[in-house]
Amino acid sequence: MRDPLTLSPDWQQRLLATRARLRERTPLVHCLTNQVTMNFVANVLLAAGASPAMTDHPKEAGELAAAADGVLINLGTPNAASLEAMRRASLAASKARRPWVLDPVGAAALPLRREISIELMAHRPAVVRGNASEILSLVDSDARGRGVDTRHDAGDAATAAPHLLDRTSGVAISGKIDRLVGIHDNADPVLVSIEGGSAWQPRVTGTGCALGALIAAYLAVADSTLDAMIAAHAHAAAAAERAEQEAKGPGSFAVAWLDALDSVDLTAFFETRVARHELA
């Protein structure tokens, strides 16, 4: 990997404009997500400026996915009905050319989740978002995680991520440093790293699920898939840093994070915490 480069001023301004468009357009995001985190994910979307829809009935999922501006499919708590809804939603989104995000929660630990993730990827998600072990498991079936936690470094997964770009337009890997792999200006794949966030985030259920939903929201208004991933990750991380200054623990952090998502300024964050790398 070559030395990192800061984003150009033009790119930074484009990302700031993307943030403004999210607030102006209020995209409808259809979420088929973890039942444990559904309420939190909806509140995160509202705080950021999007409009959530949380329908997971199989007979409604396809119709809503085709009408939504963006779709999240998260494998957090699958059952027979929700899996059928996910199949219908991913197919309908693909046919309607609606961008959708796949979050393969637990795919590195549980074979069923990996199999379902591979099956859904046939409908070409715009973005696959997960931790390092989950992303690696989609490239190499021998990669293993521990439950929904990762045993691998995001940098290792970033090296493997380009192998998924024949089935998706972007790969977002969460970690101490987030790694995003996608196409920039119709050229070769590039890697973008994002530093920041808060140590409280892993202590609050739903922050990862919410990040997938934010990516889906930004896909509806961004100029490119890579821009959507950067904007969503930067928004989440900058808000987390601001929330940490006020929080006394995980509970107060969750509330402060919602408040910060509503109002945080991303200008300085794009200037100092986001870097571009050329993939070797």
pLDDT score at 45: 98
Q: Which residue has the tokens 């700031």?
A: 16
Q: What is the pLDDT of residues 93-115, one digit of tens each?
A: 999 999 999 999 999 888 999 99
- Residue 64, pLDDT > 90, answer yes
* pLDDT bucket at 144, cuts 50 / 70 / 90: low
Closest CA to 13 of 2, 24, 21: 21
pLDDT score at 147: 45
Contacts of 234 (CB under 8 A, 6+ apart): 15, 194, 196, 266, 269, 270, 273, 274
pLDDT score at 69: 98
Domain that holds residue 93: 5-278
CATH number where 132 lies: 3.40.1190.20
3-state secondary structure of 131: strand
Across the range 165-178, mean pLDDT stands at: 94
pLDDT score at 141: 59
- Residue type for 185, please? D
Q: Rounded to an integer, what distance in angstroms lies between the CA atom of residue 66 and that of residue 99? A: 10
Q: What is the pLDDT of residues 235-256, one digit of tens each?
A: 999 999 999 999 999 999 999 9
Q: Which residue has the tokens 């998706």?
A: 168
CA distances from 12 to 16, 18, 27, 244 (A): 6, 10, 22, 25
Q: Which residue has the tokens 């969503």?
A: 232
Better pLDDT: 4 or 221: 221
pLDDT score at 148: 47
Q: What is the pLDDT of residues 116-133, one digit of tens each?
A: 999 999 999 999 999 999
Residue 270 has a CB neighbour count (10 Å cut-off) of 23
Phi, psi (rounded to 5 degrees) for 191: -110, 130
User: Residue 250 corresponds to which tokens in the numbers above?
Assistant: 């995980």
154 and 132 Cβ atoms separated by less than 8 Å:
yes
The per-residue pLDDT of the chain, averaged, comes to 92
Q: Rounded to an integer, what distance in angstroms lies between the CA atom of residue 64 and that of residue 93? A: 9
pLDDT score at 109: 85
Strands (DSSP E) along 170-249, which ranges? 170-174, 177-183, 189-195
- Residue type for 156, please? D
Q: What is the pLDDT of residues 182-219, one digit of tens each?
A: 987 777 889 999 999 999 999 999 999 999 999 999 99
Number of domains composing the chain: 1
pLDDT score at 47: 98
180 and 233 Cβ atoms separated by less than 8 Å:
yes
3-state secondary structure of 35: coil
Alpha helices, DSSP H only, in 51-164?
Answer: 58-67, 80-96, 111-120, 132-139, 154-160
DSSP state of 149: B
147 and 167 Cβ atoms separated by less than 8 Å:
no
Report the predicted TM-score, pTM, of the whole model to 2 decimal places.
Answer: 0.94
183 and 226 Cβ atoms separated by less than 8 Å:
yes
